[in-house]
Amino acid sequence: MKIAVLPGDGIGPEIIAEAVKVLKALELEFELETAAVGGTAYDAHGHPLPAATLALAKAADAVLFGAVGDWKYDKLERQYRPEQAILGLRKELGLFANFRPAICYEQLTHASSLKPELVAGLDILIIRELTGDIYFGQPRGRRTAVDGHFPGSEEAFDTMRYSKPEVERIAHVAFQAARKRSRKLTSVDKANVLETFQFWKDVVIEVHAQYPDVTLEHLYVDNAAMQLVRQPKAFDVVVTGNLFGDILSDEAAMLTGSIGMLPSASLDKDGKGLYEPIHGSAPDIAGKGVANPLATILSAAMMLRYTLNQPEAADRIESAVKAVLGAGLRTGDIWSEGTTKVGTRAMGDAVVAAITGKTITTKT
Ligand code: NAD
C-alpha cells in the first residue's frame, strides 16, 4: 500500500505528522512518501502542484493531504495560488465523489450551536458530486443581455448541467455507501424548479432499482437545509450535486461545532481517494503546536476504510480518538471547563497510546 503524503502549508505539516505517527503505530505494511504541495511547493518549485507531486499522487493507492493556503499568496496569479493544487488533484485524479461525515462525539455536544439532545450521537454522511453542476458547466461568462428583465444591460451567467453517466456514478457510490451503513439514502434536489434536478431525481430512481435493499427518499434542498437543523439525526447518507453539497456539507459540519474534528474523502471511480481534514491551513495558529490533529487522524481512518480496505484498522483509530476524548484531552479549539488542554503533539501521542494500549498521557 503506497500512500502519498502531502502536508502543504500552515498547520498542514504539524497535523500530518501526527496522522503519520498514528498510521505507523498500526504496524501495517505502508509505504509513505512525502511531497511538497500548495504555497510551500510554489516557493520551492514555482508551482503549487509540481509535476513530481502529481506523479506521486497518481502512482499512490491513496493521498493523505494536510491543507494549503496562506494570505501571503493572495496576490499571485490564480494559477499559482496554493488552492489550485486541490483543484488540480481533483481533476487529474478524477475525484468525483466527496464524502463528508458529520459526527458529533458525545463529549463535544456542547460545541454545537444546537441543543445537545438534537446532536448527541449524530453520525451522518454527506456525499457531494464534485466535478459537475453549475461550478463547471459551460458556457459561462459576462455579456450584454439580449433579453430578460433588462435587455441591453451587463449580465453574468453560469450553466447548470449534469449528464446521465455523471449522476449514475455518484448514485452508485451513494447506494453502496448506504449499504455499509443503515441502508437509508436521501437524495437532495430542486426538482420542483430546475430541469437539471428533475433529471437528477429520475436517474437516481433508475439506479435505485439495482439497490432494492436500500430505502431511498427525496428532499428539496430548501427542506433539507431546514431538516438538517431541525432533526439532523433523521438523516443517514445524503447524496446531492456539487452546489447543494457544498452548502449542505458545511451546514452539517457546523452541527458538530468543531471544525478541527471533521475528516473528508474525495474518491475516484475505483475507490482511490484523497483524504483531508475539512478545515484549511489555519495560518493564524500555524507553528504554535496548538492545532487539533484529530480531523487529519480521522481522515487517515477513512483512507483505511474506503481505499485501503482495512476496516479493522480504521475502527482502531476511531475508537482511540473516542478514548482520548473520553479521557478528557482537548486541543484549544474544543477545550471546555473541566477538561485538559493539550497541544498538537500530545494529542497525537495520546491517540497512539490508546491504539497501542498504553496509558493515555494527560501532559500538555
Ligand atoms: P481555516 O479552516 O484555515 O481556519 C478557520 C478557523 O478555524 C481559524 O481560526 C483557525 O485557527 C481554526 N482552525 C482550523 N483548523 C483548525 C484545527 N485543526 N485546530 C484548531 N483550529 C483550527 O480557514 P480560513 O482561515 O478561512 O483559511 C485559511 C487558509 O486556508 C486560506 O488560505 C484558505 O484558502 C485555505 N483553505 C484551504 C483548504 C484546504 O486546504 N482544503 C480549505 C479551506 C481553506
18-67 residue pLDDT tens:
999 999 999 999 899 999 999 999 999 999 999 999 999 999 999 999 99
**Ligand 1 binding pocket includes 284 (Cβ within 6 Å):** yes
- Residue 110 pLDDT grade (very low, low, confident, very high; cuts 50, 70, 90): confident
- 1-96+268-364 belongs to which CATH class? alpha beta
CB 334 within 8 A of CB 293: no
Q: Which atom of ligand 1 is nearest to the CA of 11?
A: 18
pLDDT of residue 358: 75
Average pLDDT over residues 294-313: 95
Q: Which atom of ligand 1 is nearest to the CA of 294?
A: 18
* Residue type at position 3: I
pLDDT of residue 78: 86
**Ligand 1 binding pocket includes 67 (Cβ within 6 Å):** yes
- Residue 364 pLDDT grade (very low, low, confident, very high; cuts 50, 70, 90): very low
List active site positions. 135, 190, 222, 246, 250
- Residue 362 pLDDT grade (very low, low, confident, very high; cuts 50, 70, 90): low
Average pLDDT over residues 186-211: 98
Distance, CA 68 to ligand 1 centroid (Å)? Answer: 9
Fold of 102-261: Isopropylmalate Dehydrogenase (3.40.718)
- Residue 169 pLDDT grade (very low, low, confident, very high; cuts 50, 70, 90): very high
Torsion angle of C-alpha atoms 62, 67, 68, 71, degrees rounded to 10: 170
Q: Which atom of ligand 1 is nearest to the CA of 73?
A: 32
Burial class (CB in 10 A: 0-12, 13-18, 19+), 187: buried
Q: Whose CA is nearest to atom 31 of ligand 1?
A: 69
Query: Tens of pLDDT along 228-281?
Result: 999 999 999 999 999 999 999 989 988 887 889 999 999 998 989 999 999 999
**Ligand 1 binding pocket includes 255 (Cβ within 6 Å):** no
pLDDT of residue 359: 66
Average pLDDT over residues 83-111: 92
Question: Which cell numbers in the block locate residue 356?
Answer: 497501542
Residue 263 exposure: Cα atoms within 13 Å on the Cβ side: 28
Distance, CA 129 to ligand 1 centroid (Å)? Answer: 22
* This prediction's pTM: 0.90
Same-fold call for 1-96+268-364 versus 102-261: yes
Q: Is the pLDDT of residue 111 over 90?
A: no
Residue carrying C-alpha cell 484531552: 329
Distance, CA 67 to ligand 1 centroid (Å)? Answer: 8
Q: Whose CA is nearest to atom 25 of ligand 1?
A: 282
Query: Tens of pLDDT along 129-148?
Result: 999 999 989 999 999 999 99
Kindly give the pairing relationship between strand 31-34 and strand 123-129.
Answer: unpaired
pLDDT of residue 70: 95
- Residue 180 pLDDT grade (very low, low, confident, very high; cuts 50, 70, 90): confident
Probe ligand 1: pick from 281, 292, 330, max atoms within 8 Å of CB? 281
Tell me which DSSP letter residue 98 carries: E
Query: Tens of pLDDT along 280-291?
Result: 999 999 999 999
Query: Tens of pLDDT along 305-316?
Result: 999 999 999 999
Q: Which atom of ligand 1 is nearest to the CA of 292?
A: 19
Residue spans per domain, the chain: 1-96+268-364, 102-261
**Ligand 1 binding pocket includes 333 (Cβ within 6 Å):** yes
* Residue type at position 263: P
Q: Whose CA is nearest to atom 33 of ligand 1?
A: 69
Q: Whose CA is nearest to atom 13 of ligand 1?
A: 282
Q: Which atom of ligand 1 is nearest to the CA of 291?
A: 19
Q: Is the pLDDT of residue 72 over 50?
A: yes
